[in-house]
């Protein structure tokens, strides 16, 4: 890396190559975030002129019961979805990695839910859970009102969401597994480790970077789940599945309280940044093994 030539020009060339994605980041990420922060400081119903209210929208969130309730539900939703999809995804990846007959077909089948439109899948799941004519109740022969019972609706949406994500998670673990050189587990086995020990002491630690990626992206997408909930329950029954994105949507586009909705979005953004940073610190403390 010699610094001969024209550093300024080199830097500019570098930025020129970055420009397309940089424009994307600025136009579709940075600007919207700033705009939302701006809106959150106003009172605006879209059709009347916006009025500056300072931090009023944030203050109002403090004693907005629906907002806290929704954060709680989102937290429960994330706590159920993310561990389940990571464990099931890992399990699926390990099984697919065995290269049993049909592995290739299954690999494709597992990813199908991920590439399908969540809204369409939500409609299908709503039909599966339909109390009178649904597939699930017809199969079990017991009438359960899955999506109308406040105790069952959230678990039902969790099942649909996990099912959608598992294939995607498995795909990453599969790539992670492929990156582990065969001699490591082999050496361990020669030293007398059994299959369980190899998995716990060799495979899992070496999968840590994948684990980090899968957990972080899983948390981020799950925190913002909207389509599946919208299609299956619209936040009901009695607000039992009213996750934060669903509440923000309603506040903005049914109640036309743009300022409030923007303030909620900003809080969600801060929350997600906190969670991500915390995770990064947690995973950084643990050693990651460079395998190359």
Burial class (CB in 10 A: 0-12, 13-18, 19+), 169: buried
Q: How far is the CB of 144 from another protein (least distance, A)?
A: 9
The binder of another protein chosen from 69, 197, 217, 224 (CB under 8 A): 224
CA distance linking residue 163 with residue 110, whole number of Å: 9
The binder of another protein chosen from 93, 211, 261, 263 (CB under 8 A): 261
68-107 residues in contact with another protein (CB under 8 A) are none
Torsions phi, psi for 3 (to 5 deg)? -100, 25
Indicate the SS3 state at residue 84.
helix
Q: At what angle do helices 150-178 and 103-115 cross, to 10 degrees?
A: 130
> Does 279 participate in binding another protein (rule CB under 8 A)?
no
What is the maximum alpha-carbon separation in the chain?
78
> Does 119 participate in binding another protein (rule CB under 8 A)?
no
The binder of another protein chosen from 56, 75, 94, 131 (CB under 8 A): 131
Which range, of 96-104, 125-133, 155-163, 176-184, touches another protein by CB under 8 A? Answer: 125-133
> Does 39 participate in binding another protein (rule CB under 8 A)?
yes
Nearer to another protein, 147 or 215 (CB): 147
Q: How far is the CB of 117 from another protein (least distance, A)?
A: 13
Burial class (CB in 10 A: 0-12, 13-18, 19+), 103: middle
Q: How far is the CB of 80 from another protein (least distance, A)?
A: 21
The binder of another protein chosen from 117, 140, 143, 291 (CB under 8 A): 143
> Does 263 participate in binding another protein (rule CB under 8 A)?
no
Cα 127-120-217 angle, rounded to 5 deg: 115
Binding site for another protein (CB under 8 A): 28, 31-33, 35-36, 39, 45-48, 126, 130-133, 143, 145, 147-148, 150, 224, 226, 233-239, 245, 248-250, 252-256, 258, 261-262, 265, 268-269
């Amino acid at each position: 890396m010699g610094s001969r030539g024209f550093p300024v020009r080199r830097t500019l060339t570098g930025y020129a190559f970055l420009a397309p994605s940089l424009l994307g980041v600025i136009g579709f990420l940075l600007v919207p975030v700033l705009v939302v922060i701006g809106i959150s400081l106003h009172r605006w119903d879209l059709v009347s002129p916006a009025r500056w209210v300072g931090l009023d929208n944030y203050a109002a969130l403090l004693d907005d019961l629906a907002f806290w309730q929704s954060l709680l539900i989102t937290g429960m939703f994330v706590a159920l979805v993310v561990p389940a999809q990571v464990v099931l995804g890992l399990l699926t990846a390990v099984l697919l990695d065995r290269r049993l007959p049909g592995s290739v077909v299954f690999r494709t089948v597992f990813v199908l839910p991920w590439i399908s439109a969540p809204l369409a899948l939500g409609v299908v799941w709503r039909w599966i859970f339909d109390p009178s004519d649904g597939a699930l109740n017809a199969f079990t022969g017991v009438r359960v009102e899955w999506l109308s019972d406040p105790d069952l609706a959230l678990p039902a949406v969790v099942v649909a969401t996990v099912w959608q994500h598992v294939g995607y998670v498995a795909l990453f673990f599969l790539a992670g597994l492929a990156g582990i050189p065969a001699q490591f587990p082999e050496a361990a086995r020669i030293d007398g480790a059994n299959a369980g020990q190899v998995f716990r002491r060799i495979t899992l630690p070496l999968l840590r970077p994948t684990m980090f990626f899968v957990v972080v992206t899983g948390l981020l997408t799950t925190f913002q789940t909207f389509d599946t909930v919208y299609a299956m329950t619209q936040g009901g029954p009695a607000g039992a599945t009213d996750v934060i994105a669903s509440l923000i949507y309603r506040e903005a586009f049914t109640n036309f309280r743009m300022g409030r909705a923007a303030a909620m979005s900003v809080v969600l953004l801060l929350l997600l940044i906190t969670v991500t940073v915390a995770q990064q610190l947690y995973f950084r403390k643990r050693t990651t093994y460079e395998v190359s």
